[in-house]
Each structure stands twice: as structure tokens, then as C-alpha cells.
Amino acid sequence: MEMKERLRKRITELTSIIGVSGYEWDVGRYIYENLKDDVDSIEWQTNGQIIAIRKGAKPGPRVIVSAHMDEVGYEVKSISANGFLYFDKIGGATEACLPPRRVLVKGDKGVVPGVVGVRAGHLLTPEQMAKPQTVGQSYVDVCASSREEVEAMGIHAGSQIVPDSPCTSMGPDGDFLCTRAADCRALCAVIVETMKNLKPEDVSGEVCAVFNILEETTVKAIAAPVTKLKPYYGLFLDTIPCGDVPDCDFQKELPVALKKGPVVLHSQMLLSAFLRAGSHPKLVQALRDAAAATKMPHQEWAFNGAGYITDAVGAVYAGEGTAVVTMALPRRYSHSPSELLHLSDVVATQAIVEEFLKHPVDLSMV
């Protein structure tokens, strides 16, 4: 199977798994089972992180390539006496597109379909119609008549809720994919396929694939594998919003487009939390070289004018510190149930990542 179809299949499978931030176990199980026979070692950490290692036939540094397994979503906080679920938002999920969507509730006995209730339009005042319904005003209906009936379904406080939004091929070429959790399962797919492709003779030193947790709620969890592995540097993969839509000023606000390749990020910042990271210039150049060698397109940007950070920020501060670079996959409609990406960008990302990992980078600045 050609790489494009391998990635399509992998993304479809990974985005079908429910793994809200803090509950990544099922995603981890999938990755562990699908990589355990193709790497030199693999560990499933007690906190849910996966570390898979490919040892090289030649001497060289230890390098991390990482993506996060978690997704934005919702969590049951309580169940009413008559069987409705009240819930909280986990991560930066977009609230405005939530009601009255179909959702999936992951209980102890399996996944239960539900729908987010919405107040009847006939009862809304003009002022209420003009305001989106918030999570605090919402509830999930699983067609139960009592709390006991809901609990018999295996649903309780802490059960995960995600939009029912399966991965769908779209567009004239069928290579647009619309799905929830493209952020960051698409990059988990890239790393899985890259680790399967890499042979010992391709690698100098060690390539350590880290499938991380809790990125959508904090970038601190990456500190654990960085401290454990002490890498020379790390390549951090994530998604990035696109500005090639009518509601965005492409040149001034967000010069990122679909079908133009992955984005090499020079810097990233979340000013409200005083978090920032800059990509090491030699790692940026190494990604440029990898793109040139594979004849794959790429974009470059410095994302500082809005709230955007990746696990690269947490890695800079972790352990004894490490050099980082971030490369991001373009996708429209971020943190919504209908994130939209294009497979040509995914293929380009995978090719550049694999080429980058085959060539160790000397980071000395003198």
C-alpha cells in the first residue's frame, strides 16, 4: 500500500478512538499494539505516555520525535435524577458548534450515543437567539429516564464525551479528510508510519518516538519523557490553523494554507501564560534541507500574535533543557468537530520527518 493510503487508513483508525485529554489509554493501546513488532523497544508509561525506540546501526545522538495523543472534548460532571448528563469542557473545544450535535459518551460498558440538548427555538427571545449556547447551559440526552438507568449503561462522573464526527473523505480528489481529533492523531499516524519505515541502517544513534499526553490542557507532561531520555534535540509535531478561508486575513493574520505542505515554526507563544519557545536555527535549516531532498513543499511562519503553543515549549524547560523545533500540519476549523486537512500535506509531513531523522544535526553554535 502506498504511503498516502497507509496514512489515510491510520488517521481514520486513530480518529475513531476516544481519548480526551487525561484519558489517552485507548489511543495508547492502539499505538502500542501497532508498533511493538517494528521497533527495538517500546514502553507504555504508567501515566499513559508511549516511548518507542529505533536504535541505529551507526553512532550518533539520541533524538525525540513527538506528537500528542489527547484531543479536546468534554467530561460528565453529574447526572440528573431524570437521566440527563451535565458536563464540562476539557481543553479549548469550540462551544458554539456543540448544540444540538450528536455525541458519543464513553462509559465502562462501551460507547453510548447521545445528543446535546438545545432549548426549543420557539421559546427563545431575540436576545437568546443572538447568543451561542454555552457548555454551562447544556446537557446530554442519552434517552434514559433516570440516573439509575444511565449508570446501568456504564456512564458516571468522569465519562468522556466527544462529538460523533467520523473521518470522512471529501473534495474532488477525495483527499480532504474531515474529522474530529485530527489534532493530533494525524501526526501520531505520521510517526507510526515513519517508525515502521526506519531501518537500523537509516539511523545514527537513536530515534525515540514519544506519544504524549495532556497537550490540550497543559504542555508540562512532555517533561517526563524528556527528563527520562535526555535527548540532544527534539522534533515536535502538531497541527496549525489555516488562514486560507474567508473569515481570516491570510497575509496579515495567518499565512498558512492547505495543500502547501507542513509549516516549520520559527517560534510560538502563549502570552497570557508567559510561555514561549523558539526553534533552534540549525534544526530549522535541517527541516528545510529535508524538504528539498524529498522535493516536498513546506511553509514557514512565526506564530506569536495569538494563543498557540505545542509540547516544544514544555520540552525547552524540562530536565536539563533541550533544543527544539516544531513542524505543524495545516488544518482548518481547529478544535471543532469538523477539522479539515488534506492528505498531500500529511504525505509531505511524513516524508520530511523521515528524511530529517536520518541525518543527525550538529547544534554547536561556535
Question: Cβ distance 11 to 167 under 8 Å?
Answer: yes
Average pLDDT, the chain: 95
Same-domain pairing of 106 and 231: no
The reported pLDDT for the residue numbered 97 is 81
Please indicate, yes or no, if residue 363 is contained in any of the structural domains.
no
Per the model's pLDDT, the better-predicted residue between 270 and 357 turns out to be 357
Residue 364 lies in a domain: no
Boundaries of domain holding 26: 3-71+180-357
State whether 191 and 339 are in the same domain.
Answer: yes
pLDDT at 170: 98
In angstroms, rounded to a whole number, what is the distance separating the alpha carbons of residues 299 and 35?
30
Residue 135 banded pLDDT, cuts 50, 70, 90: confident
Written as one letter, the residue type at 158 is G
The CATH number that applies at residue 90 is 2.40.30.40
Question: In whole angstroms, what is the distance from residue 143 CA to residue 139 CA?
Answer: 12
On whether residue 171 sits in a domain, the answer given is no
pLDDT at position 42 is: 98
Cβ–Cβ < 8 Å for 35, 196: yes
Query: Who has greater pLDDT, 217 or 123?
Result: 217
Give the mean pLDDT of 300-316. Answer: 91
CATH at residue 283: 3.40.630.10
Residue 174 lies in a domain: no
C-beta of residue 289 within 8 angstroms of C-beta of residue 295: no
Q: Could you tell me which residues are beta bridge partners of residue 269?
A: 276, 308
- Mark whether 299 and 209 lie in a shared domain: yes
**Per-residue pLDDT, 274:** 86
| Same structural domain, 79 and 60 | no
On the question of pLDDT at 201 being above 90, the answer is: yes
| Number of other CB atoms surrounding residue 123 within 10 Å | 7
Q: What's the pLDDT tens digit per position in 77-131?
A: 999 999 999 999 999 998 888 888 999 999 999 999 999 998 777 777 888 777 7
Averaged pLDDT for residues 22-35: 98
- The arrangement of strands across the sheet holding 176-179 comes to 168-170, 176-179, 339-342
Using alpha carbons only, give the angle 213, 214, 215 rounded to the nearest 5 degrees: 100
Are residues 237 and 312 both part of a single domain?
A: yes
Residues 31, 115, single domain; the answer is: no
How buried is residue 34: exposed, middle or buried, by Cβ count under 10 Å (0-12/13-18/19+)? middle
31 and 140 within one domain: no
**Region 157-170 average pLDDT:** 97
Q: Is residue 366 part of a domain?
A: no
Q: Structural domain tally of the chain?
A: 2
